[in-house]
């Protein structure tokens, strides 16, 4: 998978104002912690996540996606009427139908000739959307496209806490299966892709590769998709240890293919931006891929696992903090449940930043994290 004409012109993000610490979650889990005699502090210790954020109750994904989409369009300097495709790609969406992209399209004032639809693939949704838009640009079908998504973690975390406290039959092992659900955070991200002839940055998307290992598709799953939007009351169970092992194995195979396709060696990679889940898993994955952890940028400690927006939201914040420099060879590493891996290569040239395009400034943290758990 190689591209000659595609550029990444803008990453944008929006963050909720409400911060929820791991200590606060554990305080709410006091009944089950006492019953199972679990020590406080294990959630942050095991995950590396100190806090995550929640949107206000009742917030629909489209409300925030519109805000984030506007930021990306502004940063990229593209007239809304010139955008030829809009992909809404988060796990969370407003309704079963119509597509959440339809409402976002309407609110952004995009052209009637702009394709609008939803994509869903766990933690890889936005990266999959980027590939789809890139393909349309490369084929000459459109000149610019927007990929956006908003993940909301409040319902999942609160439903998990309620279930763990209520069901006194649950064991320590059952709690391990629910662990990943307690690490999920909320956030919104958007990516604007353009044809190189109209790009303002010259940040070339060189290509990439994908690798699928569906033998392990049952290692992380939620309940049936019975309702979405503000009334969703999800539960998710994850075999973290097995998913970590098999995800790293799948990622290693994908990275070998990635290097062959792009013509890079691991040492050629100047910077990385990744889907993030847990501190320990990041270390093992980077060792398996032969990559230097110091070249990565992380938001895990203060945003948690933000699902499909984790990679692009980290890219947006990383750009603000000067993580990417001219002529950097950047690897975007996406790993999600299923197991699915998608890796993209970027030749970075220019970082468009218009103040803090998130909802508020955030500080860079030292904790690093990438892995397939809870994708």
* pLDDT of 234: 55
* pLDDT of 127: 96
| 3-state SS class at 369 | coil
Q: Is 97 a catalytic residue?
A: yes
pLDDT tens digits, one per residue of 228-285: 444 445 566 555 566 566 778 888 899 999 999 999 999 999 999 988 766 777 778 8
134 within 8 A of 3, measured Cβ to Cβ: yes
Q: What is the 3-state secondary structure (H, E, C) of 325-359?
A: CCCCEEEEEEEECCCEEEEEEEECCCCCCCCCCCC
Q: Which of 79, 75, 49, 64 is CA-nearest to residue 16?
A: 64
Residues 6+ apart with CB under 8 A from 51: 19, 20, 21, 22, 301, 302, 303, 304
Instruction: Count CB atoms within 10 A of the CB of residue 41.
Output: 11
Instruction: Give, for 52, the enclosing helix (H) or strand (E).
Output: strand 51-54
Distances (CA, A) of 258 to 2, 133, 288: 11, 20, 14
Q: Is 123 a catalytic residue?
A: yes
Residues 6+ apart with CB under 8 A from 128: 89, 119, 121, 342
Q: How far, in Å, CA of 357 to CA of 15, rounded? A: 10
Asked if residue 54 has pLDDT above 50, the reply is yes
Peptide linkage before 114 cis (omega within 30 of 0): no
Spot the catalytic one: 79, 97, 197, 265: 97
pLDDT category at 177 given cuts 50, 70, 90 is confident
pLDDT category at 374 given cuts 50, 70, 90 is very low
Q: How far, in Å, CA of 66 to CA of 304, rounded? A: 23
Round the average pLDDT of the chain to a whole number and report it: 86
| Domain annotation for the chain: domains and CATH numbers | 18-181 (3.40.47.10), 204-347 (3.40.47.10)
Q: How far, in Å, CA of 21 to CA of 250, rounded? A: 32
Asked if residue 360 has pLDDT above 60, the reply is no
Spot the catalytic one: 7, 92, 102, 123: 123
Question: 194-227: buried (b, 16+ CB within 10 Å) or exposed (e) per residue?
Answer: bbbeebbbebbbbbbbbbebeebeebbebeeeee
344 within 8 A of 207, measured Cβ to Cβ: yes
């Amino acid at each position: 998978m190689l591209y000659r004409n595609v550029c990444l012109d803008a990453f944008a993000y929006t963050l909720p104002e409400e911060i929820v610490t791991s200590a606060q979650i554990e305080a709410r889990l006091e009944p089950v912690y006492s019953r199972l005699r679990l020590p406080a502090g294990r959630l942050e210790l095991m995950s590396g996540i100190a806090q995550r954020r929640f949107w206000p109750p009742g917030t629909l994904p489209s409300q925030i996606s519109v805000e984030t989409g506007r930021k990306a369009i502004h940063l990229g300097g593209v007239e809304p009427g010139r955008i030829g495709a809009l992909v809404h790609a988060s796990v969370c969406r407003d309704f079963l139908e119509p597509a959440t992209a339809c409402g976002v399209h309407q609110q952004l004032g995009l052209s009637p000739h702009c394709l609008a639809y939803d994509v869903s693939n766990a933690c890889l949704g936005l990266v999959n959307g980027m590939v789809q838009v890139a393909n349309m640009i490369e084929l000459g079908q459109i000149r610019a496209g927007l990929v956006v998504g908003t993940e909301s973690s409040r319902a999942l975390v609160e439903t998990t806490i309620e279930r763990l406290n209520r069901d006194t039959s649950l064991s320590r092992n059952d709690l391990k299966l629910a662990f990943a659900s307690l690490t999920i955070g909320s956030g919104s991200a958007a990516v604007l892709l353009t044809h190189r002839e109209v790009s303002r940055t010259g940040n070339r998307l060189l290509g990439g590769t994908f690798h699928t290992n569906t033998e392990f598709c049952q290692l992380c799953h939620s309940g049936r998709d019975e309702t979405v939007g503000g009334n969703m009351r999800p539960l998710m169970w994850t075999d973290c240890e097995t998913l970590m092992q098999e995800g790293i194995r799948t990622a290693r195979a994908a990275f070998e293919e990635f290097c062959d396709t792009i013509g890079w060696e691991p040492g050629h990679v100047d910077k990385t931006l990744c889907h993030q889940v847990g501190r320990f898993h990041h270390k093992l994955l980077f060792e398996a891929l032969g990559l230097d952890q110091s070249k990565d940028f992380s938001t895990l400690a203060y945003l948690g696992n933000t699902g499909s927006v984790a990679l692009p939201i980290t890219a947006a914040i990383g750009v603000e903090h000067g993580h990417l420099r001219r002529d950097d060879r950047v690897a975007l590493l996406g790993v999600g449940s299923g197991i699915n891996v998608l890796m993209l290569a970027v030749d970075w040239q220019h970082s468009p930043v218009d103040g803090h395009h998130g909802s508020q400034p955030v500080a860079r943290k030292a904790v690093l994290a990438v892995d397939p758990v809870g994708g």
